Structure 1
Amino acid sequence: MISVKAPGKLYIAGEYAVVETGFPAIIVALDQFVTVSIQTADQIGSIVSAQYQENSIYWRREDGEMVFDNRDNPFHYILSAIKVTEDYAKILKQPLGIYHLTVESDLDSADGRKYGLGSSAAVTVATIKALCKFYHLPVDHNRLFKLAAIAHFDVQGNGSLGDIAASVYGGWIAYRSFDRDWLKLARKTYSFADLLDQKWPGLEVELLTPPENLKLLVGWTGSPASTSHLVDRVALNKAKQHADYQAFLANSQACLKRMINGFRNQDLTAIQQELTTNRQILNELDSFTHVHIETPLLKTLCDLAEKHGGAAKTSGAGGGDCGIALIDKTKDIDALIDDWQNHQITPLAFNVHTVEE
């Protein structure tokens, strides 16, 4: 039995701008995981998830390809991850096997509602990690990121892949996305082996060390949001509002540059100032795209955090899901948490997760 896990993530700052090549975001990996287990099977393999018990998949292998007994399934990211990893195995002349693959996730609430922690990215990363172990394939963080980014992008078709980076590298990261148009062309131009060995244009991942007195708090609104749909809506508006969108990108880039320097200089005050600035920048984006990033409950979450001496904003695409607050550990954190709970905001007791080499 092989069992591996991959963490979920939350965006700290730089949302929406990060979908443009080379524009930075800060993301953090959390100690909530997707776990993928693999066990050798005989003639019939299976893919099972506790989240989708009624839709478990059974499959066999014919002429080296996976053949499914039922095709209408919610496992697109897992299947894409399997395909990409088995393409990698073929390059290395590893014979393909049959197996039972089981998925368990901490990234949803008890009643199945998503927290917005990047479950599709985490399940993609965990599946590839598990299969690389199963097939004894060499994989470091950089190669794991590329494999998972290809698999995830094949399904979702948009986004920055920052949630993949957080799940792969762990901890606090500054991330700049690669050129996805280049990837589409490169997949047709290069062999799969060459694509994995290439330097991907625009891609940068920097591990950040937070100041000792920084405390990350996460509040959940109980209302799920669709990142893909929200990103699509901004993309539709950016052409119509070109000047406003370019100003948004420039402001976000400058803000994130200052914020990353705050991490490098261990300056919590600077980090908090830029978090507040990034909240304002996202609200300006909202004013001309009308995607409703900061819902009334997320606004309450942020305003309450500021009242208690923290800095706060939406996390990720907004429109629901989670908000985050950065606060000095010496402040009265319990008072803020009580205030959140009194306003129907659920504090989530998550911690930052670092990934071993």
Structure 2
Amino acid sequence: MSKGHDFLITVKAPGKLYIAGEYAVVETGYPAILVALNQFVTVTVEESNDYGTINSQQYKENSLYWKREGNNMVFDNRDNPFHYILSAVHLAESYAQSLNKTMKCYHLNIDSDLDSPDGKKYGLGSSAAVTVATVKALCRFYDLPITNDILFKLSAIAHLDIQGNGSLGDIAASVYGGWIAYRSFDREWLKKARNTFTLNKLISIEWPQLNIELLTPPENLELLIGWTGSPASTSHLVDAVGLEKAEKRSSYQEFLDLSKNCLFKMIDGFHNHSIEIIQKEIRINRELLQHLGKISNVEIETPLLQKLCETAENANGAAKTSGAGGGDCGIVVINKKYATSSLIKEWKKNGICPLNLHVHQIND
């Protein structure tokens, strides 16, 4: 590897969308299905001799400058929007130091096309993608041994340190790409394990309940994505449902059991290349989420998301909210034999923006 300013590393991490299993997936061992999408966060790392910077196209006025004091990064400005990036840097550098790598200065540049050019958030998991891309870029920069499993674990720890809740399914989608079935690890175990094991040991052992399986969709399956124009805060919605679930434990447990049953059947639909099974379970999952919204007093399916789903159902598609709901995106699974032009026209008429996105496979 060359030294100096021509030493440039560039990596990308894709955004994601949930297909099914939302809310239940935040509980240990409960499954969800996600896709990685062909919109990316791009991170470049360029070695520097004296001081380092962290720059983002999205936060042009807030570049961070830092220098080295031994192995520590010392920042000139701590009032910044870069929490996920800094957490990812910290984890990647801890990994590098555990392997006795010499710490360097560098310029870190971040660019994202996960949001619209005018800054609208589509709910594609930009915080997860930037975390994954930053960890991956620095692992390459320091020439560290990296597999998808290690990348997932480092990124999951970094993300959890900032967000505090969530399933980390979006991290998995950004790491592995394509269609995945995901089950969350035991986060209470991880908290304890971090005090017990070295980082090197922690990323090499199995994490209880964690399961990530790459899925192959039926050839006749088409995925449509509509955006309703109102971004939702996943953390706040998950917290709101969390407050209610404590009071309605039996109803919530029933939701979890039914969601797990639904998702296992949907995963079987992928194994059997059956779009009919997948569509049937998409509809069931929508009903379960609507019921969860009612018992939690949280508006998961907004009127516009309801419109998105109803118009899709009328056009032979199976539709539901994606992610935490409350706005953002809805997804439609439809057989390729059906024309979708009239559905798209109907969406636009109702103020729903069709997103021209495709599933992204990761081959490296």
TM-score w.r.t. the length of structure 1 is: 0.99
- AA of the residue aligned to 1:30: L
2:332 matches 1:325: yes
Corresponding residue number in structure 1 for 2:279: 272
User: Which piece of structure 1 moves more, 328-337 or 245-254?
Assistant: 328-337
Give, in whole Å, the separation in 2 of the partners of 1:278 and 1:343: 24
1:4 equivalent to 2:11? Answer yes
In the comparison of the two structures, how many residue pairs are matched?
357
Which residue is 1:336 aligned to?
A: 343
**Is 1:256 aligned with 2:263?**
yes
Counterpart of 1:40, as a letter, is E
Match for residue 34 of structure 1 among 41, 49, 73: 41
Distance of 1:312 and 1:113 partners within structure 2:
23
RMSD: 0.6
Is 1:196 equivalent to 2:203 in the alignment?
A: yes
Task: Tell me the SS of whatever aligns to 1:224.
Answer: coil
Tell me how far apart the structure 2 counterparts of residues 82 and 24 of structure 1 sit (CA, whole Å). 29
1:307 is aligned to 314
Deviation at 1:241, TM superposition (A): 0.4
Residue 56 of structure 2: aligned partner: 49
Residue 225 in structure 1 maps to residue 232 in structure 2: yes
1:88 matched to 2:95? The reply is: yes
Q: Which residue of 1 aligns with 2:76?
A: 69
Structure 1 window deviating more from structure 2 (15-24 vs 329-338): it is: 329-338
- State the alpha-carbon separation in 2 of the partners of residues 191 and 131 from structure 1: 19
**Uncovered stretches (5+) of structure 2, i.e. residues with no partner:** 1-7
CA deviation after TM superposition for structure 1 residue 109, in Å: 1.0
Give, in whole Å, the separation in 2 of the partners of 1:190 and 1:128: 20
2:149 is the alignment partner of 1:146: no
Instruction: Quote how far apart the aligned CAs of 1:332 are.
Output: 1.2
Tell me which residue corresponds to 1:246.
Answer: 253
**Residue 133 of structure 2: aligned partner:** 126
Give secondary structure in 2 for the equivalent of 1:112: coil
CA distance in 1, matches of 2:233, 2:193: 28
Give the aligned partner of residue 170 of structure 1.
177
**Correspondence for 1:156:** 163
Q: Distance in 1 between matches of 2:203 and 2:11?
A: 22
Render the CA deviation track for 1:208-257: whole Å, top value 9, x for unaligned. 00000000000001110000000011111111000100000001000001
- Looking at structure 2, the residues matched to 48 and 330 of structure 1 have their Cα atoms a distance apart, in angstroms, of 46
Q: CA deviation at 1:193?
A: 1.3
Unaligned 5+ runs, structure 1: none
| SS state at 2:316 partner | coil
User: Residue in 1 aligned with 2:67?
Assistant: 60
Supply the distance in 1 between the matched residues of 2:295 and 2:312 (Cα, whole angstroms): 26
Off by >4 Å, runs of 4+ in structure 1: none
- The alpha-carbon deviation at position 90 of structure 1 amounts to 0.6
Q: Report deviation, 1:190.
A: 1.1
Structure 2 residue identity aligned to 1:60: K
Instruction: Provide, for residues 286-332 of structure 1, a one-character-per-residue CA deviation record: whole Å limited to 9, x for no partner.
Output: 11101100000000000000010000000000001100000011101
Amino acid of the residue matched to residue 306 of structure 1?
Answer: E
CA offsets 1:178-219 (integer angstroms, 9 cap, x no match): 000111111111111111111000000010000000000000
Aligned counterpart for 1:234 among listed residues 241, 247, 254: 241
Inter-partner Cα distance in structure 2 for 1:339 and 1:291: 27
Distance in 2, matches of 1:264 and 1:252, equals: 18
Q: % of aligned pairs identical?
A: 62
- SS of 1:197's partner is coil
Answer yes or no: is 1:104 the counterpart of 2:91.
Answer: no
**Cα distance in structure 1, aligned partners of 2:356 and 2:23:** 26
- Which of 208, 222, 236 is the aligned partner of 1:215? 222
